[in-house]
Chain A
Amino acid sequence: MSTLKPLTGAQAAAEAMRQINPDVVAAYPITPQTPIVEQFAQFVANGIVDTKTIPVESEHSAMSATVGASAAGARAMCATSSQGLALMWEVVAAVPGLRLPIVMPIVDRALSAPINIHCDHSDVMGTATIGWIQIFSENAQEVYENMLLAVKIAEDKDVLLPAMVMQDGFIISHGVENVEVFDDDKVKAFVGERNPDRYLLDVDHPYTIGPLALPDYYFEIKRQQEEAMKNAKRVYIEAGKELSKITGKTYPYFESYKLDDAEAAIVVLSSTAGTAKDTVDKMRAEGKKVGLLKPKLFRPFPYKEVREALKNIPVIGVLDRSIAFGAYAPLYAEIRNALFELDKRPKLQSYIFGLGGKDIFKSQIEKAFDELLSGDVTPEEERYIGLRG
């Protein structure tokens, strides 16, 4: 059994948190993440959950308090966006090394300057190399399910790493959809309770967490962290299989949409994948063989599987909602890397779109597909969709 609820993406994250009922939530409101914090605070105010919240004075303290709670033995969560993620970056970077399974929904928003509250992925891409599991969501339904998956993966004893669950600011966070919410009992059984081996409040077994480590051990600790990240790739699939028993859905590393016989494909994250799938349908109806790949698990990145999925596609466009200044765009770089092992590689084109919330339309995606189908690509030079002339 399940219930359909009209929820925004932000409310869908909060709904997952209601079912997870974490011991502690510490967060600081920031547009467009604020409705997650507000919705969850209302759950607490109405006694729907018995979580203890910490209404901190900044994002830096939000993640610091979340770490304190998690190290103390609690299942602890946080949530943020953009400038907030940037402010807490120092602590965010420390969490994987402490091996604390904190789960944090991220509502993607452009980074200053100029200040801008609308969606792009420049906030989260700045954290892509520091050791968090990262799962991108296309819509509110995926937000809800990815939150549940994230808890399961993060707390797995072979992983013990923090996880971020992304959704697009405003486009998803503030747009209402029908979200299928699964039964509390089943979801609670799926996420279970956190059962740490060591925690600060186990005062009979004192332990030291966060010591200074010098060149003789630092490297070794980081190597173990990478091993945990490799395990996360396996556990993502295992957790997905378990979740599918409740939801009846599957949880692959990425969604392949009409890729099998495609002559051109687009790779794109998050909400834009929905727009792109509509475009694929329209062009397919016109006889044009186009398809789409939507990565879901971004860290660890499933290079081998992506390579298998794209190896027979003659030409591929990668749409990034952020720029890696002076380098290939983040998603483009991953796809380019994934294909390197092939003897015969597809042609590639990098597209940048949607920075600071600039809309993208089906007609623009169709134009990109047409460029790809005609073989009009410049793999070393990115193109811009929707930029003022």
Chain B
Amino acid sequence: MATLQEIVSKPSGLASGHRMCAGCGIGSIVRTVLAASDKPVVVANATGCLEVVTTIYPYSAWKVPWIHLTFENAAAVASGIETAYRSLRNRGKITKDINIVAFGGDGGTYDIGFQALSGALERGHNFMYVVYDNEGYMNTGNQRSGATPYGASTTTVPAGTKSFGKPQWRKNIVEIAAAHRIPYAAQAAVHNTIDLYNKAKKGFEADGPAFLAVLQPCTTNWKYDPALTMTYSRLATETNFWPLYEVENGKVHINYKPRNRKPIEEFLKGQGRFRHLFKPENKHIIEKMQKLIDEEWERLLKLEESGVAL
């Protein structure tokens, strides 16, 4: 097991000097994931925050081979790289072992990139897909996505006199990925570096596709103090809003079980996107959110306990 000190001391595939917002955790996610590979890594990146802030021509923050093509196809691009890798190796044109990872935001993963992701997982390419999930189209200013939580106010489904924000629950992307019968799918969060590192390592070592969803609180559009990114990430796990778990060959294992589950208000308060929920008329929305979180948690516990493969 690597210590935090060992992880952060590894040479980084992503240089400092990129243009991420103050308080953004995407850089930490990328550095931790890349550090978990003991082989050279090739990166495919969907359009989104990460691509925009790391590459403005003629500069690049990437110290590893990196490609961006368009918004919805990072998984398809990665499948092309992986196939080229197998072909060129087979023909003796390259010899080194490598790992391939695709990074996308939740827009490029849950929504517009969903089909390409499913296709790549189903075909069994040996690569890892990492979604940094900031729960909306945050690069373009807080539009709704399939990952946006119930009750959040976004610019495309704003809260108003007739609206409490998003009326739907978010997609369960990890279980959807696991349903492709891939060897490894997991949910992690930016504040827990060691957990993220271990999961990325398992993902890289899996024989086949791996999928990793990492919670990435967005200071800019969740609207909170930039100093509190890790705090909100931790609160998301302590409230069971974002459980840390993994699905290894279909079997669920929960990595963190809070001793005293905090009420969801602890996560919601201080975030501008949820401010309207604290009005008296929206009390029932928070109650419903709490109920859904508790039900989901119970279901996850049962899945783990049963040992039945997803």
Contacts and interface: CB of A to CB of B under 8 A. Distances in A.
Contact of A72 (B42, B62, B76): B42
Interface in B108-145: 115-116, 118-120, 122-123
Contact of A74 (B55, B57, B87): B87
30 contacts: A23-B84, A23-B88, A24-B87, A51-B87, A52-B86, A55-B123, A57-B118, A57-B119, A58-B119, A61-B73, A61-B115, A61-B120, A65-B76, A67-B69, A68-B84, A69-B83, A70-B80, A73-B84, A76-B84, A98-B69, A200-B42, A200-B65, A202-B65, A203-B40, A203-B64, A208-B60, A211-B55, A212-B52, A213-B56, A214-B57
Query: What is the predominant secondary structure among interface residues of chain A facing chain B?
Result: mixed
A200 B79 contact: no
Residue picked from B40, B60, B85, most chain A C-beta under 10 Å = B85
A125 interface: no
Contact count band on A: 35 or more
A210 B42 CA distance: 14
Interface residues of B, number: 47
Interface string A173-194: 0000000000000000000000
A96 to B, nearest CB: 13
B76 A68 contact: yes
Given A65-B80, A203-B65, 16 more contacts: A57-B115, A58-B116, A60-B72, A60-B76, A64-B80, A66-B80, A68-B78, A72-B88, A73-B88, A76-B80, A202-B65, A208-B67, A209-B66, A209-B68, A211-B60, A214-B56
Contacts of B57: 211-214, 217, 221
A54 B84 CA distance: 10
A200 B94 CA distance: 11
Interface string A1-35: 00000000000000000000001101000000000
Interface string A195-233: 000001111001111111110010001000000000000
Interface of B: 40, 42, 44, 51-52, 55-58, 60, 62-70, 72-73, 76-88, 90-91, 93-94, 96, 98, 115-116, 118-120, 122-123
Contacts of B52: 212
A91 interface: yes
A21 to B, nearest CB: 9
Residue picked from B84, B115, B123, most chain A C-beta under 10 Å = B84
A85 interface: no
Contacts of B81: 68-69, 71-72, 200-201
A283 interface: no
Nearest to B56: A212
